[in-house]
Amino acid sequence: FRAFSEEVVLFEVRSLNPVQLDALREVANMGAGHAATALSAMTSERIMITVPRLTIAPLEEVPSHLSAPEEPVAAVLMNILGDARGRALLVFPHGTALRLAEILTHKAAGSCTELLALERSAITEAANILAGAYVTALGDFTGLRFLLSPPSLAVDMAQAVLTTAYAQFGSDPECVFCIETEFCMEEARDRVRGHFLLLPDLASLETILRIARLS
């Protein structure tokens, strides 16, 4: 029965109509706007955002969206608690994470060659705030209460990061909501690209889809 339920949910993901997908994209857009405001406050720079790209895909298809196959990523992982359960991740290509760390710690471009304690702390704090912005937008859309656990940072290949994030779900459907956003920092003339990933468990995915179908 459980396997049948998973197949039904995955079918529903693939059969969302354009109006329903637009509603989810608007949630992504609101979340990115909140995230840009939060990042502006952290960096004391005016930050603009591109229109986020939303992808709903099986787990095995997601790593190619995040980075080149041979490039590691910096991923900040949080558990989602409250009315829904799952995982939330902020993922940056390694080079992007280094540049973001320089901006957050007010260092010169090119001065960071690895993520040491100060840089890791800055990336983790920024990702925690950015994830909170996206989750707040999702909570406003669904009417659900989302809570985030304290964040943890991992530097590894994208496939390894996602596999670890999904490990506790066992046979739940490997469906990932992936929001790609580019933050444009006007004063530094920099662009920082990152991905917010939402990995809901089966019950939470069903709830999100049910609400999307009513939109």
The pLDDT value recorded for residue 121 is 95
The pLDDT value recorded for residue 155 is 92
- Angle made by CA atoms 107, 148, 135, in degrees to the nearest 5: 85
- Map residue 123 onto helix, strand or coil: helix
Task: Please tell me the pTM assigned to this model.
Answer: 0.82
Instruction: Please give the full DSSP string across 143-167, using - where no structure is assigned.
Output: ---EEEPPPEEEEE-HHHHHHHHHG
pLDDT tens string for the chain (215 positions)? 344 444 554 555 666 677 777 878 888 888 888 888 888 888 887 888 887 888 887 777 888 878 877 789 999 999 999 888 888 999 999 988 998 899 888 888 889 999 999 999 999 998 998 899 889 988 888 888 889 999 999 999 988 888 887 776 555 556 788 888 888 876 657 778 889 998 888 778 778 777 776 55
The pLDDT value recorded for residue 168 is 61
Instruction: Please give the full DSSP string across 153-213, using - where no structure is assigned.
Output: EEEE-HHHHHHHHHGGGTTS--EEEEEEEEEEETTTTEEEEEEEEEEE-HHHHHHHHHHHH
- Map residue 5 onto helix, strand or coil: helix
The pLDDT value recorded for residue 193 is 84
- Map residue 6 onto helix, strand or coil: helix
The pLDDT value recorded for residue 7 is 54
Burial 167-205 (b: 16+ CB within 10 A, else e): eebeebbbbbbbbbbbbebeeeebebebbbbbbbbbebb
Instruction: Report whether 108 contacts 186 (CB < 8 A).
Output: no
The pLDDT value recorded for residue 4 is 40
